[in-house]
């Protein structure tokens, strides 16, 4: 596999060391997200982190987590390319913004629907001893209610240990961060609690005028109650996830056994059954000294694992006017509409010009 096997459609986002493109694979005609990681700008640890991202993506197969398709190296541009699932979806961040703008609360069933699917995705990741920084911008929603979790490259999303929101404020920073304690699975539960709270209240649970004030609120576990229109079951679930002491927070298995979740699970089951076969974390992929060994070391292509509901959705849904990639780059996103010039340049260009155009937009 190489760049000539894809048609570049648009640029979706860009970070300091990587960019994400919307592409069409010529062999099957499907659209994918293609992430370009510029290796020449990375130190040894960062290069290994890139390999770990490929390893994790290729290890987990779950209807609520972005699908890995393939990875390959381009020696000429000194870049690693990761091919991933792409979907024309809005994200939870935009859904909350729109609800707040329209002064309209989210209905509780929608909140439970999103909640349960995120927990299922987290459970699959935690079984691999992997963690993911959750924020509403990394939760992607389809029109039929499907949820997909994106960015699993934690080192690219976190700034000095703090997860920042779209506005640059660490509202989701868990108590462990302020106390300089290690990150673990219970940290994901805290972040999930923040996301669910924000869906109900349309604002983060912990807010203050300055960092010191935010610190005090977080370590005390002080936050306003969600609106009274929501059930006590939702209030209790949020309270449990936002426990200051990590050991008091439930894990994913316990969350899925909550009565309020159990009675709703059948209502939102995926059309296909989730495989009972556990995911297996692939062996560590060491960054090779020579690029010539890359092909044999990278996970095999996986274009055959396609969510049936996703295919149905792609055929039935109208393309969103502002499609967003499931993948984030350094926690930053750019709308496709802001990349019209790239789209016009690339859509009908011969494939030999693909790489030239792609590299052109990497220059800073």
Q: Do the bridges between strand 18-25 and strand 6-14 make them parallel or antiparallel, or are there none, so unpaired?
A: antiparallel
Tokens of 323: 């499609």
Q: Interior CA angle at 301 toward 298 and 307, to 5°?
A: 130
Give the start-end residues of each E strand in the chain: 6-14, 18-25, 31-38, 68-74, 79-85, 90-91, 139-141, 147-149
Is 35 annotated in a binding site? The answer is yes
- Report H helices in 257-326: 259-265, 294-297, 308-316
Locate 266 and state its tokens.
Answer: 């059948």
- Sign of dihedral through CA atoms 350, 355, 356, 360? positive
Could you tell me which residues come within 8 angstroms of residue 4 by beta carbon, excluding any fewer than 6 positions away? 351, 352, 354, 355
Residue with tokens 């000095």: 160
Distance CA 152, CA 128 (A): 13
Known binding-site residue numbers for ATP: 35
Known binding-site residue numbers: 35
């Amino acid at each position: 596999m190489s760049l000539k096997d894809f048609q570049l459609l648009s640029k979706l986002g860009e970070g300091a060391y990587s960019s994400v493109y919307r592409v069409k694979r010529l062999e099957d005609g499907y659209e994918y997200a293609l992430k370009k990681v510029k290796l020449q700008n990375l130190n040894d640890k960062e290069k290994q982190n890139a390999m770990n991202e490929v390893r994790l993506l290729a290890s987990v197969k779950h209807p609520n987590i972005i699908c890995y398709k393939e990875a390959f190296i381009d020696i000429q541009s000194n870049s690693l390319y990761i091919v991933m699932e792409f979907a024309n979806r809005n994200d939870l961040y935009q859904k909350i913004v729109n609800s707040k703008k329209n002064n309209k609360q989210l209905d509780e069933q929608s909140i439970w629907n999103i909640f349960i699917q995120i927990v299922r995705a987290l459970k699959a990741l935690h079984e691999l001893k992997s963690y993911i920084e959750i924020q509403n911008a990394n939760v992607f929603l389809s029109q039929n209610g499907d949820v997909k979790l994106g960015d699993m490259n934690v080192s690219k999303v976190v700034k000095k240990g703090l997860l920042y929101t779209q506005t640059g404020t660490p509202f989701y920073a868990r108590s462990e961060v302020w106390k300089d304690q290690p990150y673990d699975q219970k940290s994901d539960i805290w972040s999930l609690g923040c996301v669910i709270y924000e869906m109900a209240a349309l604002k983060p649970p912990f807010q203050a005028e300055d960092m010191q004030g935010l610190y005090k609120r977080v370590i005390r576990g002080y936050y306003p109650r969600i609106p009274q229109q929501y059930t006590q079951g939702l209030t209790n679930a949020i309270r449990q996830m936002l426990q200051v002491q990590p050991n008091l927070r439930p894990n994913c298995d316990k969350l899925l056994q909550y009565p309020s979740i159990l009675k709703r699970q059948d209502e939102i089951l995926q059309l296909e059954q989730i495989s009972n076969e556990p995911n297996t974390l692939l062996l560590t992929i060491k960054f090779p000294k020579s690029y010539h060994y890359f092909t044999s070391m990278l996970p095999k292509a996986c274009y055959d694992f396609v969510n049936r509901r996703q295919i149905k959705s792609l055929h039935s849904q109208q393309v969103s006017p502002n499609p967003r990639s499931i993948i984030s780059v350094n926690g930053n996103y750019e709308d496709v509409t802001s990349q019209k010039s790239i789209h016009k340049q690339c859509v009908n260009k011969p494939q030999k010009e693909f790489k030239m155009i792609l590299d052109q937009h990497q220059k800073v």
